Amino acid sequence: MTEKSCRHLRILILLNFLVLFCIVPTIAEESNVYWAPWVTKTTTDSATINWRGESHGSGSIDYATSSYFDQHHSFEKTIASHITAPYQHVELDDLEPNTSYTYRVRPSGDEFAFGDRTFQTMPVSGPFTFIVISDSQEGHNYTEMKRFRYVAEAIANETDVLFILHGGDYAGHDSKDLWGEFFQAGDEMIAKFAIFPTIGNHEYHNSSGVTPTAADQYHWAFDNPLNYSFDCAGIRFIILDTPDPNNASSDDPHTSLALTKSQESWLRDKLDNTMLGTFTIHHHPIWDYGRTTINSDLLPWETLYHAYNISATFAGHTHNYQRYQVNAIPYFIVGNAGGRFSDLTGGNHSVWYKFGQTRELGYLKVTVDPAHNTATAQEIFVAHVNEDDDDETPMVYDSPKIADAITFPLNVLTSRLRAFA
């Protein structure tokens, strides 16, 4: 071999060494930086596109109605981010109601990091369907890819869903890496449907377990108040805040009467409306299996719910599915999106308890029909696990099965008036 050939060989070996030890770690590092986009705050004419990118980056969004995109195989509009930060929240406005949009986020660090994704704006009127899930966090012995992923994939296969309500506890700790797992495991679902978040107690947890964090990942990801509301087709949705960092055991915030009362006046104003129906969601449940009495910290809200005849209320926190019927109002606990399961054996329960099941991964599908003053809720199970916290592979059902179903009035007073008409 000539000296020139040896020199070329040494250069080739050096390049391979650099590729192996320099470039590959960089790619792995970048894969942890980017969180694929998610949509929040959809209205009839706007939506907010969110993503996580490089620390000092920005980016842009190409978008068009899905009909335009399908016809032209291209986007119609582009909007740029005007801030430099890892977490981006860009509002699209002047959109059309009840319309599907296709978009692609192009981060400044890698404009090809993400593929095309979709969302749908709110309708002005008419029926619609939404999903409720809660407690998607990993366990001590498994990741979200071992449980929550199956729920997210089943939801992604739904064809008629408008948006998702998440009841809190997205990840086990206030950690970038664990939150990254949430967006990775839920990617198929988040790529199709907007998400409306609720804060849970695990948003304040940290690895030290000493004191609550500031729930940074939640605030950075969603850029939302802790209590807020939105309307869709004449129906109001109210999101409430239950974990109180000022009432915590170690890093675990519990409910408190003070936090509940601080939202009482605001909640009353939101409930005092002329909407066709009203749903509420908060992380901690008012009624729960194993006790016969109400969570007294949340009693002021319970009183308002019945004074204003809400349609239904949703909660998580307890890792199973439960349904209650408190007078005319359904109460749902939907904490079975992936967290370590809680048993429903032994102990007492309230007179309002109607149905419950544990170790079943699933979601609640709610179809609202304002014209007929009805809503139908179906609890759908997608997989079964044998242990509460184990690295087992769930037994995924050949097709999701409806485990519980109930049809109820959106407005009890309207229902009674129609009955006497």
pLDDT tens figures, 70-113: 999 999 999 999 999 999 999 999 999 999 999 999 999 999 99
| Furthest-apart CA atoms within the chain: distance in Å | 102
* Residue 7 in this model has a pLDDT that exceeds 90: no
Cβ atoms within 10 Å of 19's Cβ, excluding its own: 10
Of 220, 231, 155, 221, give the one whose Cα is nearest residue 193.
155
DSSP one-letter code for 201: G
- Pick from 2-6, 130-134, 341-345: least confident: 2-6
Q: Same structural domain for residues 92 and 207?
A: no
Separation between Cα atoms, residue 301 and residue 288, nearest integer Å = 16
Inter-residue contact 405 to 378 (CB < 8 Å): yes
Separation between Cα atoms, residue 169 and residue 26, nearest integer Å = 31
Q: Same structural domain for residues 250 and 385?
A: yes
Q: pLDDT tens, 141-160? A: 999 999 999 999 999 999 99
Q: Same structural domain for residues 100 and 225?
A: no
- Identify whether 65 is part of a domain: yes
Inter-residue contact 320 to 288 (CB < 8 Å): no
Q: Same structural domain for residues 262 and 151?
A: yes
Give the pTM.
0.91
Query: Could you tell me the two tokens for 369?
Result: 């029909």
Q: Same structural domain for residues 202 and 167?
A: yes
- What is the model's pLDDT at position 26? 33
Residues 6+ apart with CB under 8 A from 266: 227
In three-state secondary structure terms, 23 is helix
* Residue 262 in this model has a pLDDT that exceeds 50: yes
- Identify whether 306 is part of a domain: yes
Confidence band for 176, pLDDT divided at 50, 70 and 90? very high
- Identify whether 172 is part of a domain: yes
Distances (CA, A) of 413 to 169, 277, 306, 308: 35, 11, 12, 10
Q: Same structural domain for residues 224 and 372?
A: yes
- What is the model's pLDDT at position 413? 73
* Residue 116 in this model has a pLDDT that exceeds 60: yes
Give, rounded to a whole angstrom, the gap between the first and last alpha carbons of the chain: 101
Q: Same structural domain for residues 113 and 149?
A: no
- Identify whether 30 is part of a domain: no
- Identify whether 20 is part of a domain: no
Query: Could you tell me the two tokens for 138?
Result: 């990993």
- What is the model's pLDDT at position 415? 57
27 phi, psi to nearest 5 deg: -65, -45
Q: What is the mean pLDDT of residues 292-313?
A: 97
Query: Could you tell me the two tokens for 175?
Result: 């950690």
Percent of the chain clearing pLDDT 70 (strictly above): 90
- Identify whether 6 is part of a domain: no
* Residue 5 in this model has a pLDDT that exceeds 80: no
* Domain residue limits at 230: 128-420
Q: What is the CATH number of the domain that holds 52?
A: 2.60.40.10
Percent of the chain clearing pLDDT 90 (strictly above): 87
Q: Same structural domain for residues 234 and 271?
A: yes
* Residue 388 in this model has a pLDDT that exceeds 70: yes
Q: What is the CATH number of the domain that holds 364?
A: 3.60.21.10
- Identify whether 343 is part of a domain: yes
The count of domains in the chain is: 2
Give the domain-ending residue among 120, 142, 175. Answer: 120
Q: Same structural domain for residues 132 and 65?
A: no
- What is the model's pLDDT at position 114? 97
Distances (CA, A) of 216 to 103, 224, 255: 27, 12, 20
Q: Round the average pLDDT of the chain to a whole number and report it.
A: 92
Separation between Cα atoms, residue 220 and residue 39, nearest integer Å = 14
Provide the pairing of β-strand 353-357 with 235-239: unpaired
Q: What is the mean pLDDT of residues 218-223?
A: 98
Which stretches within 3-60 are classed as H helix?
3-18, 24-33
Q: Same structural domain for residues 272 and 134?
A: yes
Give the domain-ending residue among 89, 120, 151. Answer: 120
Query: Could you tell me the two tokens for 37?
Result: 């986009």
Q: Same structural domain for residues 257 and 181?
A: yes
Inter-residue contact 139 to 178 (CB < 8 Å): no
Confidence band for 4, pLDDT divided at 50, 70 and 90? very low
Separation between Cα atoms, residue 350 and residue 45, nearest integer Å = 43
- Identify whether 286 is part of a domain: yes
Q: pLDDT tens, 234-253? A: 999 999 999 999 999 999 99
Separation between Cα atoms, residue 421 and residue 418, nearest integer Å = 5
- What is the model's pLDDT at position 29? 35
Q: Same structural domain for residues 95 and 205?
A: no
What region, left, alpha or beta, does residue 25 occupy, with left being phi > 0 and alpha being psi -120 to 50 degrees? alpha
Query: Could you tell me the two tokens for 326?
Result: 């408190």
Give the domain-ending residue among 120, 141, 157. Answer: 120
* Residue 20 in this model has a pLDDT that exceeds 50: no
- What is the model's pLDDT at position 195? 98
In three-state secondary structure terms, 305 is helix
Which stretches within 251-410 are classed as H helix?
257-262, 264-271, 299-307
* Residue 21 in this model has a pLDDT that exceeds 50: no
